[in-house]
Structure 1
Amino acid sequence: MMIRFAAVVAVSLLTLAACDQRKETAPAAAAPSPEAPAPQPVAADVLTADGLGPARIGMTRTDLVKAWGDDAQPAAVGGPDPETCDIFHPAKAPQGVLVMIQDGVLTRITLARGATIKTDRGFGLGDTALAIKQAYGGAVFAQPHKYQAAPAEDLFAWSTGGSTAYVTDPAARGVRYEIGEDGKVAMIHAGDPSIQLVEGCS
């Protein structure tokens, strides 16, 4: 009887020891992973595929005029049919910034001569095509310039809805760097598929 009792006690002690060992070797509960940092807001003076400051691609001309004022030079030639498509510099927009309004909606913002604004990738007028290609890598699509000889070209970087083919999806957004014969950025266009237009509104 005493031997049986000793055996039971021994088995119990071994079982408790095994339980304690399992507790020690059990993996600790994974600590909750820290939340991904929220994306930093883009500065108001930085051009993105979605807009520049208060001027947002897709907004109405009425809202654009409230934000940036109306055409600074109403007598200047804009689009061939201003009711359908108009290009102008709003009175309160930064220097060298042009907007394209198609059917009453802002579809494109252009950085032209005199503009000091940069894109969200840090590029502006005068930067080299090489630097842009290195920064974007495979995300940039090069296309020969329609009117100028190489190294003039157009560099497209679509952020949404774009591809290497001609883009027609109105929800697509991108940036086009227009490169001159000197290999440097001459103009920058940001917005919807209208950034592909090479003759103003056509």
Structure 2
Amino acid sequence: MRHIAAFAAPALLALSLAACSGPGPADGTSPTDGASATDAVEAVPSARPTPAAAASEASPAVPAANVIGLEGLGDLRIGEAVPRGSSWTERGAQAGDACRTVSSPAYPGVYAIVEGGKVRRITVGARSDVKLVEGVGVGASEAEVKKWFAGFREEPHKYEDAPAKYLTAPNAASGDPALRFEIGSDGKVGLIHVGTMPVLGYVEGCA
């Protein structure tokens, strides 16, 4: 009996181990034959982004060409000279030497005012599809403007009847670049100005 018990114990242990390990591959080899435990772990697809994906996530978004901001539009910057070799240039008759206007065929319906050799204001007009990053452009309603830009100072329009008006950013008086909207008698944006005072408040181009 002692011999049977001695034989049965190892046999039972072997059966128990086999049951715990589960069935192996059909060829009888171990899943990790010829590979380390580390290799087996690395074989599982990783959730980490690939180097290319990581680089893409880290790259800053490139602003759209038709988006205007307080800094300017494209290569035309508020407070800086018109870039040499750019498409922005004087066209047509000018009011005088002190104040000049420039435009670019790349931005129909847009012009800029240059005083003292620097860009002081950029104006977006009716023929332009240039918009602010908020999506507000010429043709937007006054309500849409106020949705994004609350607290703007209201002034009656000089040439159009109410509800036409000017909406000027509260920080305009500080001398920093600011926004100014011209709302037409139809209650929609007719012009968008970005620039610094006093040029930001000009109502007739260079005047």
Task: Give the TM bin, normalised by the shorter chain.
Answer: 0.5 to 0.7
Matched, 1:119 2:132: yes
**Residue 100 of structure 2: aligned partner:** 86
TM-score by length of 2: 0.64
State the alpha-carbon separation in 1 of the partners of residues 114 and 196 from structure 2: 11
Distance, in Å, in 2 between the alignment partners of 1:99 and 1:93 is: 13
1:142 matches 2:154 = yes
Rounded Cα–Cα distance in structure 2 between residues aligned with 1:60 and 1:47:
17
State how far apart, in whole Å, the 1-side matches of 2:103 and 2:159 are.
24
2:160 and 2:194 mapped to 1: Cα distance?
21
Aligned to 2:118: 105
Q: Does 1:51 align with 2:81?
A: no
Counterpart of 1:154, as a letter, is Y
CA distance in 2, matches of 1:191, 1:93: 20
Q: Say if 2:88 and 2:102, in contact at 8 Å, map to a contact too.
A: no
Unmatched 5+ stretches in structure 1: 1-36
Paired residues, what number? Answer: 149
- Residue 44 of structure 1 contacts residue 54 of structure 1 at CA under 8 Å; is this kept in 2? no
| In 2: Cα distance, 1:176 partner to 1:93 partner | 23
Q: 1:38 to 1:153 in 2, by over 3 A?
A: farther
The answer as to 2:195 corresponding to 1:191 is yes
2:185 to 181, 186, 200: 181
Deviation at 1:137, TM superposition (A): 2.1
Percent identity over the alignment?
Answer: 32
Over the aligned positions, Cα root-mean-square deviation in angstroms equals 2.3
Q: Is the alpha carbon distance of 1:141 and 1:103 closer, same or farther for their aligned partners in structure 2, counting shifts above 3 Å?
A: same
> CA separation of 1:146/1:39 partners in 2, compared to 1, >3 Å: closer, same or farther?
farther
* Separation of aligned partners in 1, 2:122 and 2:76: 9
Give the counterpart of 1:60 among 74, 77, 81.
81
Partners of 1:151 and 1:182 within 8 A in 2: yes
TM-score by length of 1: 0.66
Q: 1:150, 1:181 within 8 Å by CA — same for their partners in 2?
A: yes
Q: Which has the higher contact order (CA 8 A, sep 6+)?
A: 1
